[in-house]
Chain A
Amino acid sequence: MKISKNTSGQMRVIESILASFIVVFAITFASTFAVTPRSATYEVGDLEKLGHNALHNLDEQRLLSRFVYNQSEWSTNFPVALRISLPSDVYFELKIYDLDDTLLNINVPIRYGNPEVFDDSASVASVMYSIAGYSRFDPATGSQVEYAPRTLILLLVRG
């Protein structure tokens, strides 16, 4: 059997393969830089606005301070108020810190959604909101309660 020695087209084939690889690779590589609606940058910006607006509205209605300073509200009214203020597909977790950065609600999570969604999602928005605190008369001690500023950290994820 006689094997043809004509190999002049083989280089063209290899070039085509390489060219195809380069084209596919370039397109795939470029597409990773596309900013899509599901990209972290985009989602986070939108969620931050939503979260800040929700906290601000509760503050405007003089509900936020009451919720923050009454521990009995943390597992009852506070999560419900946030849930009705935020779109239904947004999960949240709220953390309350004092001036020493101590997490006050460590044993009472103020949350809607499974805790794993915050770990698994690449687009977690974080909103910081401060409450200056307020001075009030405490009948138990007969004295004015000190101002006690609180920092709220609201984490948001779209479900």
Chain B
Amino acid sequence: MIGLIITGIIAVSAFVVIPNLSYVNLLYTDQQQLRNIALDTLKAMLLEAGYPANWGTTYNFDPDQVERFGLALAESSSFYVLDPDKVQRLVVGNPAGFMEYEDIHTELALQGYGFNFRIIPPFKVIVNDVDFDGESNPITLANLTEGVDVLVTYNTGSPIPKASVEAILLYVLKGKDTFYTGIEAYNTTNALGKCTMNPDVPDGITDFVLVFKVTVADVTTITSSYKEGFGEQHIMNASIVGENITLSIPEGPGWEKGSAGTRWVDNVIVVNKEGAWIIYNGTRSDEDKITWGGENWIWSRLFSSLSYYNPLFIIVNLSVPNPRRLVLFLGPDPNWMGMRVEAFGDPTGSGGATSAVTVQRDVIISEMTYIAELILWKESP
């Protein structure tokens, strides 16, 4: 009888313990496999230049012509230096062409796995967080006059004190036919990672863009913000590919109503690590015209030696109709926010997956440091 009880206890324990042990081990093994695949995938993405080696810079971009995928800058002798043209091909909606998730999924041989990829700044710069959601908001003229609040944090959310913040104001004035730049403000974040920027604001501003250069331990990130009030109009479809800048009227909120009428490209300003540089002054000729539909719906120019500027993003001074006025536009998306790829991957996300792994590497793009992050998960069969 005692023997039977002992045998029963052992049997029941075995039924409980053994499957648990096996399950835990299987789970660990599964996670390990997932992590290995994620590391290998990230390595392939960041260290390989792909084929053709300059696949991101080709005009009339055709994703089918990319025989092997990789984001590394072919001319670089250092590791983890990425080609900005290739990176921009991961921005869905890029008017100069982009790669679809499925194409890269196939190129990387990730059948059975889902992934999400992003390239973000090494730390967060949050501008005018009026709703305390940890996200930047456009700035009102009142904010600009009273002072614009800036919060600098690690990507985990903890504040960074003693970060050096520099703001450059670019603006247009009522009744004036040009844009102005050069009003700068400097400050340093306090123990809570906060500071207020107070540039001298001239009277009669109708539109403005604020460019923020934030330096933490000599690692710099550059982001920008714009005047609230024009909605999505402030972001224009733009791309920088090699020496070429392309602009087009985006579809979406803010554009339908005022889509009729001519827009004139008056100035193009390139922002890089060193500051803002005017590289083009328009003449209001047909060459600088953008209209809704027709042959002028896209504006494209070749700027020799543009790549030597290492452009991060551009600001376009555009004359827009209804009523006729100057408006400053930022692009390409999401570069003007200080990041390179906001989210590229499976739109369904890893919600249904039992486990997902995240791997990161710091990378260099246009002489700036970013964090490349890959989230990989096993898709349900």
Contacts and interface: CB of A to CB of B under 8 A. Distances in A.
Nearest to A66: B218
Interface in A16-60: 16-17, 20-21, 23-24, 27-28, 31, 34-38, 42, 46, 49-50, 53-54, 56-57, 60
B109 interface: no
B279 interface: no
Contact of A24 (B18, B39, B80): B18
B380 interface: no
B216 A27 contact: no
A108 B94 CA distance: 48
Given A46-B39, A87-B360, A34 B219 contact: no
Interface residues of A, number: 39
A84 B14 contact: no
B18 A21 contact: no
Contacts of A46: 35, 39
Contacts of B217: 63, 76-78, 80-81, 84
B188 to A, nearest CB: 13
A10 interface: yes
Nearest to A20: B10
B25 interface: yes
A117 to B, nearest CB: 16
Nearest to B4: A13
B304 interface: no
Interface in B350-370: 360-362, 364, 369
B123 interface: yes
Contacts of A16: 7
Contacts of B18: 23-24, 27
Given A37-B35, A84-B219, A53 B361 contact: yes
Contacts of A143: none
Interface stretch (B64-72, B155-163, B310-318, B324-332): B155-163
Contacts of A63: 217-219
B79 A61 contact: no
Interface string B1-28: 0011011001101100110011001001
Secondary structure of the A side of the interface? helix
A37 B160 contact: no
Nearest to B27: A36
A118 B39 CA distance: 24
Contact of B154 (A27, A35, A77, A84): A84
B145 interface: no
Interface string B30-56: 011001000100000000000000000
A110 to B, nearest CB: 12
A105 interface: no
A26 to B, nearest CB: 10
B21 A85 contact: no
A14 B3 contact: yes
A34 B3 contact: no
Interface in B241-271: none
A88 interface: yes
B78 interface: yes
Contact of B218 (A20, A31, A81, A83): A81
A24 B28 contact: no
Given A46-B39, A83-B154, A37 B28 contact: yes
Interface in B154-176: 154-156, 160, 162
Given A34-B28, A88-B154, 19 more contacts: A13-B7, A14-B3, A17-B7, A21-B10, A34-B25, A37-B28, A37-B35, A42-B32, A53-B361, A57-B362, A57-B364, A60-B78, A60-B364, A61-B219, A63-B217, A63-B218, A81-B217, A84-B217, A85-B219
23 contacts: A16-B7, A20-B10, A20-B11, A21-B10, A23-B18, A24-B14, A34-B28, A34-B29, A35-B29, A37-B35, A46-B35, A46-B39, A49-B39, A53-B362, A56-B79, A60-B364, A61-B219, A76-B162, A77-B217, A78-B217, A81-B217, A84-B217, A84-B219
Interface of A: 10, 13-14, 16-17, 20-21, 23-24, 27-28, 31, 34-38, 42, 46, 49-50, 53-54, 56-57, 60-61, 63, 66, 76-78, 80-81, 83-85, 87-88
Interface of B: 3-4, 6-7, 10-11, 13-14, 17-18, 21-22, 25, 28-29, 31-32, 35, 39, 78-80, 122-123, 154-156, 160, 162, 216-219, 360-362, 364, 369
